[in-house]
Amino acid sequence: MNKQFDKWNTLKKELSSSKINFQFKQRDIFFMSLGKNIGFEQNGHGDDFKRPVLIYKKFNKFVFLGIPLTSQIKKDKFHTEFEYKKGTRSFAILSQLKLYDIRRALYYDGKVSRDMFDNIQDDLLSLIVTPSQKKRVCTEAICKDIVAKNEKVVKKMNKNSKIYIAGHRGLVGSAIVKNLQSKDYTNLVYRTHKELDLLDSTAVANFFEEEKPQYVILAAAKVGGIVANNTYRAEFIYENMQIQNNVIHQSYLNNVEKLLFLGSTCIYPKNCPQPMKENSLLTSELEYTNEPYAIAKIAGIKMCESYNIQYNTNFISVMPTNLYGPNDNFDLEKSHVLPALIRKIHLAKLLKENKYDEVISNLNVNTIQEAKDYLNNFGVDENKVEIWGTGKPRREFLYSEDMADACVFLLESRDFKDTYNQNDKEIRNTHINIGTGVDISIEELANTIKNIVNYDGELYFNDTKPDGTMVKLTDPSKLHSLGWKHKVELEDGIKTVYEWYLKS
């Protein structure tokens, strides 16, 4: 097919001729989510691998895939045999696809096929550069122009991007805000619960319509420890699903460029193989005490996946392990194990040192007897601190500011397409574990905190209380492969949190 066609009509005539039977050489074309009209050669070599494939022409029931040529690659026999020329501009024709085959390409969403091809022909022709340009300049010039046509998916965050952080006051959200500010992001948007109730679908819709955020970080959630999860089961499943549904759906309706959904590693089965890999999701039953919360978070993961597949959105789900850090919840009834232990052991130390004014102030009560009565409910006095269970269960802990750094890293440099194997027939388990891959027993954790707080009383492990899952350790290798690893080790992190707690 090494003929020169000056006009598309000439090409149509040749294709329509019953005397000519064109045999197009098939190539593996892998469509990226960069745009509705762009892909990359999968089996090219060197810089060829990065060259864009253009869907540049619709003729009858066929769509032709072309690639811009440069002087360096025009000597290739394949390209000279399958070439379409228009003056000094040229395409190599890679293959032909019937329109219904386009459904197999990742960019296709069922709504843009025929109209899209009709509308982009002239634009694509104008993007082809002359063969005299250098290969690297050629590739970058074409990519830059085409990518700009679909900024919703491929546009990278810049320092002025409007970023909405839902849940900015919590442990997770405040750490992410701090990280973004440290990196000079200036257009951050937040709302307190009083300003925006995320359970109110109308209020959320109005907020998105007015603010039009480009990026969304969904860190808002109803969270708590084992007691709270088991006691307030209805609130945990209803409120979390309602928040997710409202924010994720409005992000889709308002063309948010990227959303980061935060969950928890409690999504994994009770008897999950250790360490927990992403593909263990939904393989067996959940831990009973936090089942409602876990189901809500699993629904969030599947909602993000489903919107990405159906609507070509760019929503990423991350599942951090047990977090601790500044702005943690130290409420003795509702907090997680690490902040609860810090506060209980600190208060026991104050009692032992007869610093009653500080105890009263810390608990916001009127008398030391009220304080002692309250603390007795949690097994705390001047001589001992009670800890539920045997102390043998092992847990993994991640410093909240490390978690925030991982989240911002993913927002800045990774997309949904990076979260799964492109050759998979079924897209699932696209969420990403965020953890250290290192665990510690509850007994070791309590003794570490006891030493940092400098408390010389007794730690009493009440084995009549439940232990929960004996081992919970994430496998963070997927995140490592994407280019991020934690920095803060546990003992250093606890020291920092305790200093923050004393000041606060």
> For the purposes of burial, counting CB atoms within 10 Å of the CB of 355, is it exposed (0-12), middle (13-18) or buried (19 or more)?
middle
CA distances from residue 459 to 211, 395, 455 in whole angstroms, order as listed: 51, 18, 10
Tokens of 4: 């020169």
One DSSP character per residue, 253-288 reads HTT-SEEEEE--GGGS-TT--SSBPGGGTTSSPPPG
CA distances from residue 178 to 85, 162, 186, 327, 408 in whole angstroms, order as listed: 54, 16, 12, 12, 11
How far is the C-alpha of 179 from the C-alpha of 181, rounded, in Å?
Answer: 5
User: Catalytic site residue 293?
Assistant: yes
Instruction: Spell out a b/e string for 147-172, using b for 16 or more CB atoms within 10 Å of the CB, else e.
Output: bebbeebbbebeeebbbbbbbbebbb
Instruction: Spell out a b/e string for 318-341, using b for 16 or more CB atoms within 10 Å of the CB, else e.
Output: bbbbbbbbbbbbbebebbbbbbbb
How far is the C-alpha of 338 from the C-alpha of 397, rounded, in Å?
Answer: 9
How far is the C-alpha of 471 from the C-alpha of 370, rounded, in Å?
Answer: 37
- Catalytically annotated residue among 293, 307, 420, 455: 293
Q: CB of 473 within 8 A of CB of 275?
A: yes
How far is the C-alpha of 195 from the C-alpha of 217, rounded, in Å?
Answer: 17
Tokens of 398: 């991640």
* Active-site residue list: 293
